[in-house]
Amino acid sequence: DSQYSLRPQTLDEFIGQGRVKKQLRIHIEAAKSRGQALAHILFVSPPGLGKTTLARIVANEMGSSFKSAVGPAMERLDIATLLTNLEERAIFFIDEIHRMKGYVQESMYPAMEDYKIDLPIGQGPAADIITVPLAHFTLVGATTREGLLGGPFRDRFGNRIHLDYYSPEEIQIAINRLSERLQPSVKIEEDAEYELARRSRGTMRIAENMLRKVRDYATVESDGIITYEIAQEALDFFEIDELGLDDNDRTYLRTMIEKFRGRAGLKAMAVAVSEDERTIEEVYEPYLIKLGFLTLTPMGRVATDAAYQHLGYPTPEYQSTLF
Ligand code: ADE
């Protein structure tokens, strides 16, 4: 399947995030009517909620070209090369922008503010600086961790936009559309769509992957049609539980409960589950926090009573005294 054609191309096709779409429509219409570039945009959300998709849509709706880069890999000179080659009103998208090195972030200040960059010419004591004018472009940054951006860098984004988890109803619409667009199309019953949607952790990317996995299951274990029963069976088979938690999520909570009596620091958890700290903070924890299974305290991460109950542990007595 062409990954790209499955993505919505316009704001109208983009499901949910109503307030965000309204905001973007206003900025896009205003910029177009003035014939100007959009103000720089920072999209903030947990992974898989559509930051990259929205950035492409913004370019499409502006009628602008789209160039992209990934934060951690960028050096000053890479950025300079990309910036000096942008077209007027281009959208320049940088993913994981919080992982861009500090001095590279700083080198972008004049580009963002005045559409110019300072480039070193030559080396050593004889080195000189020339200032190069740039096209009026729009920087669109995506981050899972707004707090890790330097303050002055963050403040240079005129529009900071937070995306929220999707409702099951919104995800169901996306699953329905995707089932028709996949080649060959997927036959899925309405209550099965809702079941997948409900267990997708509010995340479009998870829903999409889940539909593909369950389609495979239905093809091999049944007649290819995803009924409610087949959906249930497949999700059990793939060990995705009633709330959409997978094996990684459950291992994380079990480890916290069994090894650390329900309270642990980030480093200790990272070592215990063999994951890097970033993945834990950016991928595992946000949805567990949203579910109310985890709280972050100055004394460490704490598994809540609800987490104990969900995993079938007796609620610990000592915990109630902590809050
Ligand atoms: N693909 C990723 N996010 C989407 C959304 N919000 N609506 C439709 N398709 C999507």
Residue 181 Cβ inside 6 Å of ligand 1? The answer reads no
Active site residue 138: no
User: How large a percentage of the chain has pLDDT more than 70?
Assistant: 97
Peptide bond just before 8 cis, omega within 30 deg: no
User: Bridge partners of 68?
Assistant: 93
Band (120; pLDDT cuts 50, 70, 90): confident
User: Strand, coil or helix: what is 187?
Assistant: coil
Tell how far the Cα of 2 is from the centroid of ligand 1, in angstroms. 15
The predicted pLDDT at position 123 comes to 81
Atom of ligand 1 nearest to the CA of 205: 2
Residue 204, ligand 1, Cβ within 6 A: yes
Q: What's this model's pTM, rounded to 2 decimal places?
A: 0.91
- In this model, does residue 199 exceed pLDDT 90? yes
90 burial (CB, 10 Å; 0-12 / 13-18 / 19+) is buried
Average confidence (pLDDT) over 151-165: 95
> Where do runs of H (alpha helix) occur along 242-313?
247-260, 266-273, 277-279, 285-291, 305-310
pLDDT tens digits along 276-296: 999 999 999 999 999 999 999
Q: What pLDDT is recorded for position 122?
A: 81
**Residue 2 above 50 pLDDT?**
no
Q: Mean pLDDT across the chain, nearest whole number?
A: 94
- Provide the token pair at 248: 């990684």
CA 51, 56, 61, 64 torsion-angle sign: positive
> 1 falls in which pLDDT band (50, 70, 90)?
very low
Q: Which residue reads 């088979």 in tokens?
A: 237
**Is residue 144 flagged as an active site residue?**
yes
CA of 162 to the centre of ligand 1 (A): 15
Q: Mark whether 21 is an active-site residue.
A: no
Is the distance from the beta carbon of residue 202 to the nearest atom of ligand 1 less than 6 Å? no
Please pick, among 7, 21, 32, 52, the residue that the annotation labels catalytic: 52
